[in-house]
Each structure stands twice: as structure tokens, then as C-alpha cells.
Amino acid sequence: MKIRKVILALAAVIAVAGCSGKKTEGANDREFAEAVGKAVERQLQQYPESRVKDLYKSFFQDKFGPGHLVADTTGAGAYLRRELGSCSCTEGEAFEHTGWEGNFVRVNLSVVKNNLVPYDVFLDAFFRSAQDIKTPSLEEWRKEWAAIEQIIRAKAPSLPDYESDLAEIDRNLAKGIYMGHHSRVYEETYAPHYRILRKDIFEKEIKPLLF
């Protein structure tokens, strides 16, 4: 009976995934479900205090990148300098991929703080990472998030604050607000300090400086 329930739950997840918005060209529903599942497992293993909000943020960043952060380049540069000056920037990995496609990479500010990557090089990469991003429409994103959420629920139904976090995300999406924020417990536990870089820019220009 338990095996039958697991099979039915997996079938439901894959069916919902099939209703998602734009996925990587050529990726079928099973590949989507597996990739999302692995992304969820990866985050919960690395950041066990993650909430639904924090998972949403990773998947959101994977689709939308840092564009919402760099409308004002002068302000974004000044804010980065202030953050570097005020944080130890020692928590977390040097870099990690976002979401299920890995279109973007979260790069810990420790790489700049520890002089592995020059500030100007990092800032330029950050600004260029916000350019020429093909983002989904609100409706496409809402459908994809619904599919992702079903997979999260199947894998981690007992996450604290699950329903309240989900309700907040849904309210924001209903208002046309895509962006998500880390949960307070995530902020307090992991003190995240990073910027989002486009994968190709990171791989070519930043990653070689780290090794």
C-alpha cells in the first residue's frame, strides 16, 4: 500500500510538472521533476534551516537573475561596497548554482573580501549578468512555480511555516510581484552575502580566479 501511494504521488508530481511554464528546450516532464527534486535536496542538505521562501528565492533567481537589483548601477555599486565593508562574508560556499536549470550562480562576497576576485571585475560581471535576460511572463512563472511547489511538498511536506510562506508567495504573485526574499531564520542562521552572476560569465571570468 505504501509503495502504491508513493507511485501515485510521483505520478501526480510529474503530471503537474507537465503543466509548468517554459522549461529548458528538450527537457521532458520526468527530467524536470528530477532536476527540481535534486535542487530541493541540494538546498535542504546544505541549508537545513531553509523554508519554502528560501527555496522559492533560488528558483526565482534561476529564471530572473539579478536584473531587479541593478536598475540603479551607481546605487548598486555603492551598496556592494557598504556590504563588503560591514560583513565578514565567511558563511556558505564560495559559489552555488540556482534553481533547477542553473542559469545563474550565487557567488559569495567572500571571493571579493578575500581578494580572490578584484572588486571592479566582480562588479562588472554582476552588471553584465543583468543584461539580455529572457524571463518568463507572470503566467508562465506562476504555472512553473505551481509545478515546483508540488515537488517541494512531496519531498519536504513538514517544512516549518510551509503554508504561511506559500500563501505569502501566492499573494505576491497575484499582485504581479515575482521577487522573493529569504526567510528570517535563513538570514539569521546563514547570514547570506552574495550576488547573482550569469552562469556563462561566472564560468569564463570568475571561476578561474578561484582555483
pLDDT in tens, 123-181: 999 999 988 888 999 999 999 999 999 999 999 999 999 999 999 999 999 999 999 99
Instruction: Please state the length of the chain.
Output: 211
- The pLDDT score that the predictor gives to residue 27 is 58
Which range of residues forms the domain containing residue 34?
2-210
Give the SS3 label for residue 105. Answer: strand
Nine cell digits for residue 173 = 504573485
Work out the mean pLDDT of the chain and round it to a whole number. 87
Which residues contact residue 16 at a Cβ distance below 8 angstroms, ignoring those fewer than 6 apart? 146, 147, 150, 151
- The pTM assigned to this predicted structure is 0.85
Helical residues (DSSP H) of the chain, grouped into ranges: 2-17, 29-46, 52-64, 73-86, 110-113, 119-129, 138-155, 162-174, 184-190, 199-201
Residue 171 and residue 181: Cα distance in Å, rounded?
A: 14
Number of other residues whose CB lies within 10 A of the CB of residue 73: 12
What is the CA angle 87-96-106, rounded to 5? 55
Number of domains observed in the structure of the chain: 1
- The pLDDT score that the predictor gives to residue 45 is 96
Where does the pLDDT of residue 72 fall: very low under 50, low under 70, confident under 90, or very high at 90 and above?
Answer: low
Residue 58 and residue 44: Cα distance in Å, rounded?
A: 12
